Amino acid sequence: MAKKKSPQEGAKRVNDPNIMGLKAEVLEQPITETLELNYMPYAMSVIVSRAIPEIDGFKPSHRKLLYTMYQMKLLGGPRTKSANVVGQTMKLNPHGDAAIYDTMVRLSRGYGALLHPLVDSKGNFGKVYSRDMAWAAPRYTEVRLDPVCAEFFRDIDQDAVDFVDNYDGSLKEPTLLPTTFPNVLVSANQGIAVGMASNLCGFNLTEVCDAAIAWLRKPGCDLLTILKAPDFPTGGQLLYDEAALRQIYQTGRGSFQVRAKWRYLKSENLIEIYEIPYSTTVEAIMDKVAELVKGGKIREIADMRDETDLNGLKLTIDLKRGADPDKLMARLFRSTPLQDAYSCNFNILIQGMPRVMGVGEILEEWTAWRMDGVRRRTYFVMKKKEEKLHLLQGLKRILLDIDRAIQIIRETEEDAEVIPNLMIGFGIDQIQAEYVADIKLRNINKEYILKRISETAQLEEEIADLKDLVGDTGRLKKTIIAELQAVKKKYAVERRTEILYDYSNEAPGAQEEDIPDYPVHVFLSQAGYFKKITPQSLRMSGEQKYKEGDGPFLQWEGTNRDELLVFTDQQQCYKSRLSDFPDTKASVLGEYLPTRLSMEQGETVVWACITSDYSGNVLFCFQNGKVARVELAAYKTQTRRKRLTGAYSDKSPLAAALLIQEDRELAMISSEGRCLIFHSSLLAPKSTRSTQGVAVMTLKPKYHVERLLPVEETAVVDQKRYRPKALPAAGALLRGEDRGEQQLSML
């Protein structure tokens, strides 16, 4: 096997004379070695030692903080300043006071990010549902451990978990905390590592304990019937989707929807929102609602304000007269974070290796780890009892002849010989002899010794029972079950997030029904400026404003629910709703479509149309004399795509386009001054957008088609002259009386 090269051996030395005018030696290193030797150790450190929680439900920063507070006697004791805890924690966590205090804030009762807060706090710790509310500095706040933390440290001094040196070897710290319940499923946890992330939602403690008990009794049981759904401290309503939850429970990945809780106060005509999804904030909701109101997409809201106080969260929405609160909230749920998706990624470190696991696998790993912890704890207690029994057995031999023991001690000349002489005299070992030698003179009496020896039989029974427990898996499971039942009884709280089993899945068209429906006039200028004006506003000021050199191009009458299709010179079609554009006035320039629709550099608008149902056909007239008839339905998509490529053929430049609902006579005019009148029924509709069409007008070299428009929009008097017997045809030269420059311009 080839010996692996060191970085120095694999690197190449290069002399570079251009560094600060001095001759310097540059060390080149292959990128693969840089990644392996420099980047990978950092990435693994972030994954293993910082960002991903372990089977006890804690990241290293959480564990170090809680253990420090436990060592400071803050479990059941009085509160102390947060700054004091932060300073002590730095002995285990060298990442700085700000990072430690941020960790403490998230675990605190005041912040409210956990179903069962681990830090009993006093002072301003901000709120999980507020993005902008800052928490007070650590010198102003006070903390202690919450009573539930007793379940994390009950076995900490009984060898239930391993201890390791801290970063400088001056202290010992636990690798895990021996939690008596699956805290990994109760405490929500998020983390972003290098190349991977973790996002664990919280579950109700009672349901988690019941699920763990059921799994211990029957591994592989259906957890969805016991562990109903996730639970969040901010409440809200979880939209129950059995398939989505079952996927999360099985794979550890997936998402579900949570929506806010609200009530309508009819007497004041307002809506109060008092619980919001865990994954959003008050500020995010208000910003989005304000954006919708400003954009004219929601017209029923008169005002919205944050009335959160000491009684809890409350967002108030004042409604306009006649507004339907149910329809408004349904629209807000679709358009704002008032209904939000929570994505799950149950990525947990198991023996130093990250694994994405379902709930069943997590419970399997936790029960195995917990059984090992109970076994270690039992073995530790058993060894202590065996040591005590061993001492009492030595004391029992002294009972046979107390006078002899006193005589041996009195007749021993040197202090160092007392222990060996007792060992020889009574046949006991050194530990027993030292125990006997340390007994006080007043306790060398028959009553004291008999009382102590009476514990021997009880100790022997307890040791035998503990030995049986260590080797009996069934008894270990019963012990864990009893502990889980005790935890559930002591710390159970009501579910905060309501499970919504029956909720309406609105049809795809429901959103369109909520868009305000009113008539509008739409204008598009030659330069690409777009305006949507209500009839009332148009009557007040009908004079259109344009930039210098610009002028009218297209105009339509429609409704606010219609869709706009914009075709460009790059054979692309951009789609948008008229409701996406704000109502404006004739006195403004309007919105520049290339910018609003995010067109490509240099792309310009060549034609546009509006539609409500995608009925009718589009006639694309090309400069080479061909016309393509494409069904407008070919541009309808199910996924609300904003851009379609290949909107029409690119074989020849586009001369004109028309949207027709029924067949009619059309006039085609060339740059030579020829006109040809034909009926659109001669063109077969195509569903393929990029069709080249059929030849309609034959052209001489250097000439091209300029316009295509309905016959009634021309000034042609003798229409029979320009109707050919068959297509394609050259058409006839326009006579003077058939020329009408104003009418021949394309509208």
| Catalytic residue list | 140
47 close to 193: Cβ distance less than 8 angstroms: yes
Token pair of 530 as six digits? 């777009």
CB-based burial label for 531 (10 Å; 0-12, 13-18, 19+): buried
160 close to 376: Cβ distance less than 8 angstroms: yes
What is d(CA 730, CA 6) in angstroms, rounded to the nearest whole number?
Answer: 82
Phi first, then psi, for residue 442 (nearest 5°) are -70, -20
What is d(CA 585, CA 82) in angstroms, rounded to the nearest whole number?
Answer: 59
What is d(CA 726, CA 696) in angstroms, rounded to the nearest whole number?
Answer: 9
Phi first, then psi, for residue 581 (nearest 5°) are -100, 140
Distances (CA, A) of 249 to 277, 340, 341, 436: 21, 20, 17, 60
560 close to 515: Cβ distance less than 8 angstroms: yes
Of 161, 38, 173, 166, nearest to 95 by C-alpha is 166
Of 558, 554, 513, 552, nearest to 535 by C-alpha is 558
CB proximity list for 338: less than 8 A, separation 6 or greater: 259, 260, 273, 276, 277, 280, 285, 329, 332
Give me the helices (H) in 492-614, please.
Answer: 510-514, 535-540, 593-596
175 close to 163: Cβ distance less than 8 angstroms: yes
Query: DSSP readout, 642-653?
Result: SEEE--S--SS-
554 close to 490: Cβ distance less than 8 angstroms: no
Helix axes 473-491, 359-399, angle to 10 degrees: 110
355-394 b/e (C-beta count within 10 Å ≥ 16 → b):
eebbbbbbbebbbebbbebbbbbbbbbbeebbebbbbbbb
3-state secondary structure 314-378: CEEEEECCCCCHHHHHHHHHHHCCCEEEEEEECEEEECCEEEECCHHHHHHHHHHHHHHHHHHHH
Query: DSSP readout, 404-468?
Result: HHHHHHHH--SGGGHHHHHHHHHT--HHHHHHHHTS-GGG-SHHHHHHHHTHHHHHHHHHHHHHH
Tokens 């430049």 correspond to 653
Q: Which helix (H) or strand (E) holds 552?
A: strand 552-559
250 close to 360: Cβ distance less than 8 angstroms: yes
